[in-house]
Amino acid sequence: WRFEESDTEVCVCTSGLCARVDRSTLSIAYETNEGTPLLRENERQARTLEAFDSFRVDTSTPAKVVTVTTPDGEKQVVQAARKIYDRTLYRAQLNFVWQEREALFGLGQHEEGSLNVRGKTIYLHQANLKIAVPMLVSNLGYGVLLDAYCPVVFNDNEYGSYLFAEAVEELDYYFIFGGSMDGVIDGYRTLTGKASLPPRWAFGYLQSQERYETQQEILDVAAEYRRRQLGLDCVILDWHSWRDGHWGEKKLDVKRFPEPGEMTRALHDEHVRFMISIWPNADEISDDYKEFAQQDLLLPFSTTYNAFDEKARGVYWRQLNENLFVHGVDAWWCDSSEPFTPEWNHIEKPIPANMYKEYVQSAEQQAPLALSNAYGLFHARGVYEGQRSVTDQKRVVNLTRSGSIGSQRYGAILWSGDTSASWETLRKQIAAGLNFCASGLPYWTMDIGAFFVKKGLQWYWDGDYEQGSDDPKYRELFARWYQLGCFLPIFRAHGTDVRRELWHYGEPGDAVYDSLVKTNRLRYQLLPYTYSEAGKVWKNNGTLMRMLAFDFPLDERAIQIKDQYLFGENLMVCPVTEPMYDASKGEASLCNSSMRKVYLPAGADWYNFWTGRHYEGGQDIMADAPLDMIPLYVKAGSILPMQQPVQYADQPMPVEFHVYTGKDAEYELYEDAGDGYAYECGEYSVTILTWDQARETLEAQVDGVKSSKEIISRIIRP
């Protein structure tokens, strides 16, 4: 790097980037070292700090607390409490000037369905349907990471273009120049930690339901999947695994789960893992609550443990270990990992600005406001560090509803919360997941079919299908949602109102059931590819679920598309987000065309995954989309490792390499033990497959040595 200064500016330049500080305004302008502008702070008031006195709740004095009933159990809301001075904090604002046609992405997961956030106001606070990550990524190949765990507002309109932080000790942000969106994510992970690699089984199919009530029911579900020869890797036990009246207790009700160790052993014998829902709040009559209360390890005037406290995290893990992990539990579902959700106390949905205001008011009553967006991060940290202290043979899997900067290093898989069933929700989920993954956290999923299917009194219970799975219209929606779920980092169905096991949507020969079976098998056919791409997420700081702007940043059409994306480096997914069938005339009766419009980005040629047909990039086409087919396209010059369908992820099966010709191609097949942490110490293999277009030959090298094994391949030509 080099340092330069003149009468007007101070400049620091690296091999790829220059930061120029204007001496008169102190604003910073960022540009490539060739002089191409990237981003600059506003010349007038580039950044502002407004000091305020921060107070904390005085727990030695009684407070006015009301208990409210929510879908996450009973929660305490502090309406009035005596406060005492804590320290000086700042409300901070960064004012930016973007490039005229620049697109911005990231900021976590939000439910509005926006992809490019230019021209938007985004409120970054944790909520059931929101995940706050103050990370912006530009299609120009740079990112801005605001070092803040407090509520944040992004704004880009006539009132200014800025990031506003509610409560920070200092104004601190990182400008990350990667040269590409992949480079930005690499920089983010360099700063905040590598993403841990989930076990191979976590990339199979995970079956959940609100809720399984007994040990026998769980075993019966797993047995039925095996009887039908359907892929299944995990059964998930939702809430109320505890004794009646003991909400959140980390002990199974012995009446309904008499032999948990025998249950997990029986599941493991069938190559099925077991995930259990755990909660940060516990009823006051439970032993868990009493232990936290006796040691003053709860949030103020709350039944929720204080995850910000290291000692409290240790107690929480010990309770998990002694009562659940010892019985063979494989994975955790850290539900309700954002303890402040005031918007769920309303019948009507608050507008975003009011929702943000209520969150700030609620959070500062029970937590440090400067850390209020980070509860889920600390919660995940405690579970991760606890399990790793016990064993290195089982990777931490933590399905959690909230996270923030750095959650990726703690085995966290985030999901989109308790959504409602509609085609509009399905469409918006795609943009929500794409922006979340562009924020640097790679593992995201959703409730396939939505959580709420029917309508209830409250605003969030707003599904469109009163007849549930008996309604052919909902069956069609579920089939399309299932297809989308197949091409997410984690493939999981869950929800209330309606059962989610596949046989509730028909039997063999029924259109919807057959579609679900085909999709389930496709997930397992692609498992060598999916796990290799996940290996690159860990090894190379990659991104598995990729908006088109990652690979086509200069294609102005591609960067605005919200319903197509890349799954890994080679496969473009084009979900169907509109109904196509007339339920009044039966499942197979078309009311629209069974096709959807697809844009093939310029800069690559493409193959139809299903037919092998070749297309030039830079054009719109009409893609076949019958009920059992999601449109998929593969880049020319790709190698796609696949296998025959299996019933579980660790079932041995030879890998077949599908070569999509047109130019030279190379692919890295990642393999390891599939579980445990030996991969962190180098116990993995990378097989490099190389396609020579001129010679039309496919070769494999393992650790730089040409492989003598026969390569099973299928060559796809124009």
- CA 252 → CA 129, 214, 220, 630, 695, distances in Å? 28, 10, 18, 40, 62
One of 210, 335, 563, 675 is an active-site residue; which one?
335
Give me 632's structure tokens. 């998929």
Which sign does the torsion angle of CA 645, 648, 654, 655 carry?
positive
| Contacts for 44-51: CB closer than 8 Å, 24+ residues apart | 45/95, 46/94, 46/95, 47/92, 47/93, 47/94, 47/95, 47/171, 48/92, 48/93, 48/95, 49/90, 49/91, 49/92, 49/171, 50/90, 50/91, 50/92, 51/88, 51/89, 51/90
Give me 210's structure tokens. 């609100």
**53, 166 Cβ separation under 8 angstroms:** no
Give me 710's structure tokens. 């026969």
Return all residues near 652 (Cβ < 8 A) that are at least 6 apart.
none
Active site residue 582: no
Task: Give me the phi and psi of 639, to 5 degrees please.
Answer: -120, 125
**565, 547 Cβ separation under 8 angstroms:** yes
Please, how many CA atoms are within 13 Å of residue 529, restricted to the half-sphere of its CB? 27
**686, 703 Cβ separation under 8 angstroms:** yes
SS (H, E, C) 518-551: HHHHHHHHCHHHHHHHHHHHHHHCCCCEEEHHHC
Give me 14's structure tokens. 């690296």
Range list of H helices, 526-675: 527-540
- CA 543 → CA 167, 182, 212, 551, 629, distances in Å? 31, 7, 33, 11, 25
**Spacing of C-alpha 257 from chain mean position:** 31
Return all residues near 632 (Cβ < 8 A) that are at least 6 apart.
571, 572, 573, 574, 608, 609, 610
> What is the arrangement of strands in the sheet containing 638-642, beginning at the earlier edge strand?
638-642, 656-660, 713-716
Burial class (CB in 10 A: 0-12, 13-18, 19+), 144: buried
**63, 45 Cβ separation under 8 angstroms:** no
Q: How far is residue 51's CA from residue 56's CA, in Å, rounded to a whole number?
A: 16
Q: How far is residue 106's CA from residue 137's CA, in Å, rounded to a whole number?
A: 6
One of 111, 338, 364, 464 is an active-site residue; which one?
338
Residues in the chain, overall count:
718
Q: How far is residue 504's CA from residue 436's CA, in Å, rounded to a whole number?
A: 31
Active site residue 666: no
- CA 362 → CA 69, 92, 540, distances in Å? 16, 20, 40
Torsion, Cα 34 38 41 42, to 10 degrees, reads: 100
Active site residue 385: no
Return all residues near 269 (Cβ < 8 A) that are at least 6 apart.
none
What angle separates helix 310-323 from helix 287-294, to the nearest 10 degrees?
150
Range list of H helices, 346-456: 352-366, 375-390, 423-438
Burial class (CB in 10 A: 0-12, 13-18, 19+), 674: middle
Q: How far is residue 118's CA from residue 136's CA, in Å, rounded to a whole number?
A: 11
Which sign does the torsion angle of CA 452, 456, 461, 466 carry?
positive
Task: Give me the phi and psi of 461, to 5 degrees please.
Answer: -90, 85
Task: Give me the phi and psi of 578, to 5 degrees please.
Answer: -130, 145
**166, 146 Cβ separation under 8 angstroms:** no
One of 111, 358, 418, 497 is an active-site residue; which one?
418
Residues catalogued as catalytic: 335, 338, 418
